[in-house]
Structure 1
């Protein structure tokens, strides 16, 4: 009986040990599916839309934004490097990014063409606002500029019109680039029906291209408008 008791005690200890091992085992990693990627992208503020497993243009745009924020090649594909960063505990969110160190100091608007992104930076270095953009680097060069009037045209126009006269460019803030018609504005709106020419989720990607201006969301256009009521430096990084 003593031997049997010893055996039972040994089995009980083994069972407890096994139970402890099972309880503390790390959870299995989520499968690398489109749905998993969409959920991770949404958690990182990349606006992938519904996690429905369909890898359409919106999901590709979200991947591109994530890749831009995390200094990865902007391929719009779920490659190994992108998966690795998505699954990491430390990654840069699409909607909260550090201001590029090479942008200088002081009160300024910083535009990164590599990241397709803009920051409004206060005198003390804190960020008032940030968001994605669509622009066209081939029209004017990177460099340092200022907001303000140009070519006899106002620095700010609430409802500017494009050259075709069919689109509204709302909350237009002009940038003095040496060209007359360059500025920040909301994604153009059709005068005929009030719809945008493309959704906001394209902003922050290289999947669209402007005619030279910097397209931003409605909120960002208003923030830039308010921030630049006194002329402000615009630092454009390639």
Structure 2
């Protein structure tokens, strides 16, 4: 009568076989086509009932007059931000909702950063605030709503310096824009 293998030997053999099969499948999957994600963001609007715009087909090119090196570029005319690395490669670009007071063209630096939620001048709970200049006696800063919403329309004559970002873009900017990071504002 042949010797019988203990159950632990069977379980160990099956486990090793399963690990080998998963490893082979992982290597094959790694060699296959990889998914890509298109950069699609909602189109900012000053109205509270703003609806997302059609998907963008290609991200906008960083403005030529925005300098060189690692920086955050904000275009007042396009209501767009670019995160540009040290090799002048755009890492991310997205539309924003501007405040009613625009910063003047020029080069600034991220100063104070506040991650904890607070209430913005428009009454919305905001977080990840990155101040970079003052304009017309008002601080200008990037931030995102805690709930990810777009800002409500500003009341007539109200001055707001918050440049509001969609939540995912606010997270990306927070990671990219440490204190001292250059912010270049173009027209």
Equivalent in the alignment of 2:69: 106
TM-score by length of 2: 0.60
Structure 2: runs of 5+ lacking an equivalent: 1-37, 44-48, 153-157
Cα separation, 1, equivalents of 2:128 and 2:74: 18
Deviation at 1:197? 4.8
Cα separation, 1, equivalents of 2:42 and 2:120: 28
Deviation at 1:46? 6.9
Match of 2:114 among 156, 163, 180: 156
Is the Cα–Cα contact under 8 Å of residues 82 and 93 in structure 2 kept in the other structure?
Answer: yes
Deviation at 1:229? 2.0
**CA RMSD, aligned part only?**
3.4
Count of residues in correspondence between the two structures: 139
Is the Cα–Cα contact under 8 Å of residues 160 and 172 in structure 1 kept in the other structure?
Answer: no
Q: Does 1:221 align with 2:184?
A: no
Structure 1: runs of 5+ lacking an equivalent: 1-42, 49-55, 67-92, 150-154, 200-208
Instruction: Give deviations 1:67-125, integer Å, cap 9, x for gaps.
Output: xxxxxxxxxxxxxxxxxxxxxxxxxx35x121111101011100111211100000001
Equivalent in the alignment of 2:53: 62
TM-score by length of 1: 0.49
Equivalent in the alignment of 2:126: 169
Greater relative CO (CA pairs within 8 A, separation 6+): 2
Q: Does 1:184 align with 2:142?
A: yes
Cα separation, 2, equivalents of 1:158 and 1:44: 27
Secondary structure of the 2:130 match is strand
Equivalent in the alignment of 2:186: 237
